[in-house]
Amino acid sequence: MKVWLVGMYGAVATTTVAGAVALRKGLTDRTGLVTELDEFNGINEYAPLDDIQFGGHEIRDLTSTLMEATLEHLKLNEHFPLKIFEAIKDDLKCYKAKKGTAINCGSGVAEFKNTETLESEGLTLRQITDRLMRDLEEFADDDTVVINVASTEPVVEFNEEYHSSIEGFERLLDEDRKDLVTASMLYAYAALKLGIPYGNFTPSVGSSLPALKELALKNGVPHAGNDGKTGETYMKTTIAPGFVYRNLKILGWMSYNILGDYDGMVLNHKDNRKSKIISKDSTLYKLLGYNPFTITEINFFPSLVDNKTAFNFIHFEGFLGKKMKLYFIWDGIDAILAAPLVIDIARTLLFAKKKGLSGVIKEMAFFFKNPMDTNEVNTHRQFETLVEWFRKNQ
Quickly state the pLDDT bin for 107 (edges 50, 70, 90).
low
Summarize pLDDT for 175-205 with one digit per residue, the tens.
999 999 999 999 999 999 999 999 999 999 9
Summarize pLDDT for 342-376 with one digit per residue, the tens.
999 999 999 999 999 999 999 999 999 999 999 99
- Residue 33 scores a pLDDT above 60: yes
Q: What is the pLDDT of residue 315?
A: 98
Mean pLDDT of the chain: 92
Summarize pLDDT for 57-80 with one digit per residue, the tens.
999 888 899 999 999 999 988 999
Q: CA 290, CA 288: separation in Å to the nearest integer? A: 5
CA distances from residue 139 to 3, 55, 114, 145, 362 in whole angstroms, order as listed? 9, 7, 25, 11, 27
Q: Which structural domains are found in the chain, ordered by start?
A: 2-228+336-393 (3.40.50.720), 232-332 (3.30.360.10)
Q: What is the pLDDT of residue 105?
A: 83
